[in-house]
Each structure stands twice: as C-alpha cells, then as structure tokens.
Structure 1
Amino acid sequence: MSYTHVTAPTQYVEVGGVRHAYRRFGKPGGTPLVFCVHFRGGMDNWDPAVTDGLAANREVILFDYAGVAGSSGEVPETFEGFGDDSAAVIRALGITQADVLGFSIGGYVAQEVALRHPELVRRLVLVGTAPRGGEAEGRDPKALEVAANPVPTMEDFLFLFFEPSEASQQAGKEFWARRHQRTVDVDPLSGPEVTKAQVAAIAAWREQVGERFSELKTIQQPTLVVNGSHDVMVPTINSYILQQHIPGAQLIIYPDSGHGSLFQYPELFVNHVSRFLDSERAFG
C-alpha cells in the first residue's frame, strides 16, 4: 500500500527507554528525508502539501521528539539533547545517512544533528531558523507568548506564520485546512511540560557560546536556507547569517511571507528543496 501524510500509520521505535512515535511514507530507496518540527509541534503540524510533495520522489520520515506529542520520555532542555535524541531515532530506524529538514526550532535540532553526528547527514535544509546566539532585532515580543497558548488557534498561526496581507492570510487559512485533513490516528496535543522544557532550550540557544557563529563553519554538508521576507518569530536576518557562515550554503527568501513561508508557498518550496536534494552538485 502506498501511504500519504494522511494515511501513514503511526509506528513506534524504542531508543534508550523512550518510545518514539514516527511515520514513514513516500518513494522507497535513495536517501530518506527526516523532518524536525517546530516549537511544541508533532507530526500533524506539518503541511501535507509539503510532505506529500517531497515524498513523491523520496521516502519521508516524520517523528515526535522525546516527551512531545506521541512520544514517551522527558523533553530535552538543550538542543544538544534534541540533536542526540534525533540522531538516535535515525539510527534506530536503520538509516545510515539521511537528508535532514528542520523548521524553526527544528532547525536548531537539525544543526545539532549535523554538528554532533555529521556522518548521519548528507544534506541539510534549514527553514525559518537561526544560529546559536542569533539576532533578536525584529522578533515580535508577543510571538513566544502566542506560541505558548495552551491550544493554538488558527488566528495564532495566522499571526505567527503569515504576513498581514490579504494574500498571505488567505494562504494561511488554506494551510490550516490542509493541516487538519488527517482525522484518524492523530498526535495528542503537547502539554505545559513540553512548553516549559522547550522554552528553556530556546533560552539556552539564544546565548552566545565562544566565538559567535564559529561552529557554523564546521558544517560541511550542502545546506539550503529558506525563510520568508518578514519573520516575526525568528527574524529573517538570521537566515542570511546562516548562509554567510555555513560554507557553500545557499539562501532563498520568499516575498510577502513570514515564519511559515514553506506553508505559504508549498509547491515552490517542494520544487526548490527537491532540486537541491536531487542535484548532483547541490549548488549552482
């Protein structure tokens, strides 16, 4: 049976006593693409237009971090911990090398997987994210408060992920509808303990450690950086910083869009990421 974002069954793999929820679907063979999700998110927070679009030519793997949504265990309080946990899941699934796509704090996780377990990562896609000790100017002071609402609403996502323009807001409403297409075997909502632990990890990530951005130069994997033109959660300037400091990285900025640019332009995003992952040289 050929599964999709909506129909792929939730499976479980045990890693260090933690039962991780995951889903696999798409075209088998080749290098799988592992998705690292945003703040408080689980597998159902991804856009089927993105996951199914990318699954047309490769296997896609979604999973829940330890202690989040459908996974057991305790939530790590550092992104080094998230990175080690994610690498362990990849290995437990029998994968020796993967492409890794990280969105928002998932981009922090993806960076740590690449830095701490470089042999596992073939190529890296960083979306709406920032380096350790990145720039805060441009972040809306209400962003984290809204993101921490016990049950985020469509209005919360329209504010956090999309621009105020009519076109961007309409794209946000369409994303919200797609995101809720899966109605069976869905992830449980994350509770306040997830918020608390991930906020602690975010606070630690925002602190500069050693020479600013120096660790980025050690990321040798081909890297694609993507963001919207006005990200109120993780200011867009951070995407430029990532591109400038990761050797050979390339950058795409989508117009009239914010933190959720990949959900506003899903077909374009899928096209750009697919070309990046499939290109023999990855650049040019």
Structure 2
Amino acid sequence: MSDTHLTAPTRHVDVDGDRFAYRRWGKADSGQPPLLFFQHFRGGMDHWDPLMTDGLAAGREVILYNYRGSASSSGTPRNTIEDMADDAAKVIAALGLSQVDVVGFSLGGMVAQEFTRRHPDRVRRLMLLGTQPRGGNPDPDPKIFEVAPRPIPTVDDFLFLFFGPSEAAKQAGRAFWDRRHQRVDQDPPSSPELMMGQIEANTAFVTPLDPERPFAHLAEITQPTLIVNGVNDVMIATINSWHMVQNIPNAQLIVYPDAGHGAQFQYPERFLKHALQFLED
C-alpha cells in the first residue's frame, strides 16, 4: 500500500552533524522533480494540509521537512533566512537530488525565495503562498503579536491568523484544523528557541538590500513562479504579493476571495487545481 500524508514514515538525513527530519512519498517515476515544502513560522510537517500534499503527491513525489532545530529535527535553530536556505540546499544534496520544485508558505516563502536566489540551479518552479519579498512591509494586524507566539495555539487562534472573517471561511478553517490533526504520530511542538530564532530572521528580512530599489533583487528569480494569497492577509499584507508579481519576471498572482493568510487551506480543492496546472504547464 502506498504511503500518504498520514502514513509516510518520518526519516532523518544527516547534515553538518545534525539530523533533519523529513517525510517523502508520492509518484517517484513521474518524470517530474520532487516538490519540496518550506513551512511557516513555528510550523512543522504536520501543519500542512493532507488534501494539498496527497493531491500533489498523486502526480509526483513530495518532500516535507523540518528546519534545523524545528520539531523532530536536531540542532540549534537558525536565525537568518540565508542560513535556512543554505541548509535546504544541503538537505537536497544529502537526499541525492539535483533539482526540485518548491512551495514556500509565509516564512517558508521567504526561505524559498532565498533558496532560489542562492541556489538557482536547484529550482525548476516556485510557488509562494502568503508571503512577502525581502524589504517588504508586512503591515500586520497588531493582534497577531498576541496570538502568534502563544505556546499552544488554539483553533480560534488559527482561524484568526489564517482564514477569512466570514462564517463560511471559519467553517473551512475548522475543517482544515480537523484534517491536519488526523495523523497519529505527530511531530513534537517546536521550541521557544526556534520561535525566537525565526522572529530574528523575519525581522532582518524586512530590511531592504537597496532602499532606493527595494525589490530589484527579485529580478534574479527567473523560474516560473506562482504567487497565491487571500484578499485580506492579517499576517503579511496582501499588497506584498503584488510587489512580488510586479518584480519577479515570470510570475503570476492569484488572490482568493474572503480569505486570509492561509488561502490555500481555505480553498484546498481550488488551490490544488491551480497548483497542478502551474506545475504541469
């Protein structure tokens, strides 16, 4: 029986003396590069949506992994996006892969951008979800500074942070919450040290490389790029997605209605159709 999001075993690969946890499953003989996932602030392998990962795995391999020091990965958490991106390149090499497609969500989208800029030969196609460019202004709802750092987020915290304000959006959020808790052997929660390191990395990332041309560096990302967000992202203002599509040469943008930061989780079937069309085009 083939593995799924709920059954794929947690494996480890050694990189520079630390063990990176990963799960890998899907159609290995597809002729397509595996799809590597970069997760959000404090998130791990069990924060992805099984509808999304299994739907994508039907036509290719998918690889989920935890950053250094995150959940079931060992080591000291990184405090720069650049180091996290370079770690990813080493993980790819350790897994014997030469090229991948990449999907990055939120902080993971920042890592995905730097991974693509610093290791362009490793990336064929790029998906950026609910994220921002270096030098962007996240302009978050002030409430996130109360909600996002809570040691054990509740379903109501996730609804506020990730989903739209309507009752239909909240119902979709609760359905996602149920799906993401279906796996029995879930990762341990990430540590306070990881949270602090990622806050430091995110804070540095909002400083532009060139204040006069804050998004000029995005021209270095020449791979086909799909950008997805909700119309009202309270974590990272949706305008940042517009900045990216204006400055990444081969990019397209989809904005979902009545949705927030986790638009792909609110509309999983719709997102899956868009993602598959993009990856197979």
Interval containing the TM-score (normalised by the shorter chain): over 0.9
> 2:107 maps to what in 1?
105
Residues 96-245 of structure 1 aligned to structure 2 (within 5 Å): 96-137=98-139, 139-184=140-185, 186-210=186-210, 211-245=213-247
- Is residue 2:55 matched to residue 1:53? yes
> 2:16 maps to what in 1?
16
Of 113-122 and 204-213, deviating more is: 204-213
CA distance in 2, matches of 1:18, 1:254: 39
Shift of 1:183: 1.1
1:190-229 deviation digits (Å, cap 9, x = unpaired): 1111111000001001112223011100111110000001
> 1:282 maps to what in 2?
none
Number of aligned positions between the proteins = 277
1:85-136 deviation digits (Å, cap 9, x = unpaired): 1111111111100000000000000001100000000000000000011123
Shift of 1:13: 0.2
CA distance in 2, matches of 1:151, 1:11: 25
CA distance in 2, matches of 1:31, 1:265: 25
CA distance in 1, matches of 2:144, 2:233: 10
For structure 1, list consecutive stretches of 5 or more residues without a partner in the other structure.
Answer: 280-284
Matched position secondary structure for 2:85: helix
| Contact 1:162/1:261, CA 8 A, preserved across alignment | yes
| Contact 2:138/2:235, CA 8 A, preserved across alignment | no
Shift of 1:269: 0.6
Q: 1:35 aligns with which of 19, 28, 37?
A: 37
Amino acid at match of 1:116: R
- RMSD of aligned C-alpha atoms? 0.8
- Provide the TM-score with structure 2 as the length reference: 0.97
CA distance in 1, matches of 2:199, 2:147: 13
* Inter-CA distance 140–188: structure 2 relative to 1 (3 Å threshold): same
For structure 2, list consecutive stretches of 5 or more residues without a partner in the other structure.
Answer: none
- Is residue 2:119 matched to residue 1:93? no
Superposition misfits of 4+ residues, deviation over 2 angstroms:
none
| Contact 1:144/1:233, CA 8 A, preserved across alignment | no
Matched position secondary structure for 1:53: helix
| Contact 2:103/2:127, CA 8 A, preserved across alignment | yes
> 1:248 maps to what in 2?
250
- Provide the TM-score with structure 1 as the length reference: 0.96
Q: What percentage of aligned pairs have identical amino acids?
A: 58
